[in-house]
Amino acid sequence: MIIDSHTHIGFNEHLHETATELVDSMREAKIDKAVVCAGDINDCSTEKLIESLKPFNGILYPVGSVSPLSKSKPSAETVENWLKGGTIVGLKFYPAYEPFYPNGEEIRPYLEILEKYKKPAIFHSGDTFNLKSGAKIKYAHPLHIDDIAVDFPNIPIVIAHLGYPWIIDAAEIAYKNKNVFADCSGMAYGKFDEKDKNLIKKMMSLFIEYSGDSSKIMFGTDWPISDQSDYVEIFKDFNFSNSPKDFFGATAEKIFGLI
Summarize pLDDT for 127-138 with one digit per residue, the tens. 998 767 788 999
> For residue 239, is pLDDT > 90?
no
pLDDT at 52: 98
Instruction: Report the distance separating Cα 219 and Cα 231, nearest Å.
Output: 9
pLDDT at 133: 77
Give percent of the chain above pLDDT 70. 100
Instruction: Report the distance separating Cα 140 and Cα 98, nearest Å.
Output: 10
pLDDT at 234: 97
Range of the domain at 47: 3-256
166-214 confidence digits (pLDDT tens) = 999 999 999 999 999 999 999 999 999 999 999 999 999 999 999 999 9
Stretch 143-149: mean pLDDT, rounded? 97
> For residue 259, is pLDDT > 80?
no
59-117 confidence digits (pLDDT tens) = 999 999 999 999 889 999 999 999 999 999 999 999 999 999 999 999 999 999 999 99
12-63 confidence digits (pLDDT tens) = 988 999 999 999 999 999 999 999 999 999 999 999 999 999 999 999 999 9
CATH number at residue 19: 3.20.20.140
Domain total in the chain:
1
> For residue 236, is pLDDT > 80?
yes
Stretch 222-250: mean pLDDT, rounded? 94
How far is C-alpha 205 from the geometric centre of its chain's CA atoms? 19
pLDDT at 130: 73
- What is the identity of the amino acid at 46? T
Instruction: Report the distance separating Cα 49 and Cα 18, nearest Å.
Output: 10
Confidence band (pLDDT; 50, 70, 90) for 2?
very high
Residue 120 contacts residue 256 (beta carbons within 8 Å): yes
pLDDT at 35: 98
Instruction: Report the distance separating Cα 236 and Cα 247, nearest Å.
Output: 11
Instruction: Report the distance separating Cα 207 and Cα 167, nearest Å.
Output: 6
Report the C-alpha dihedral over residues 160, 162, 163, 164, rounded to 10 degrees.
Answer: -120
